[in-house]
Amino acid sequence: MKPSSAISRLASALLLAAAAVLAPVMSHAQATAQGTQKADRYKVVLQVSDNDPAKWNLALNNARNIQQDLGKGNVDVEIVAYGPGLGMLKMESKVADRLAQALDNNVALLACENTMRNTKVQKSDMYGGIGYVDAGVVHIMKRQREGWAYVRP
Give the residue, 12 or 72, on which the prediction is more confident: 72
Closest-CA residue to 136 (of 74, 60, 50)? 50
Distances (CA, A) of 146 to 3, 42, 91, 149: 52, 12, 31, 9
Q: What is the predicted pLDDT for the residue at 7?
A: 63
Q: What is the predicted pLDDT for the residue at 2?
A: 60
Contact between residue 121 and residue 62 where contact means Cβ atoms under 8 Å apart: no
The pTM of the full predicted model, rounded to 2 decimals, is: 0.75
Q: What is the predicted pLDDT for the residue at 35?
A: 45
pLDDT, tens only, 30-79 = 444 444 445 689 999 999 999 999 999 999 999 999 999 999 999 999 99
Query: Which residues lie below 8 Å from residue 105, measured CB to CB, with a gap of 6+?
Result: 63, 64, 67, 72
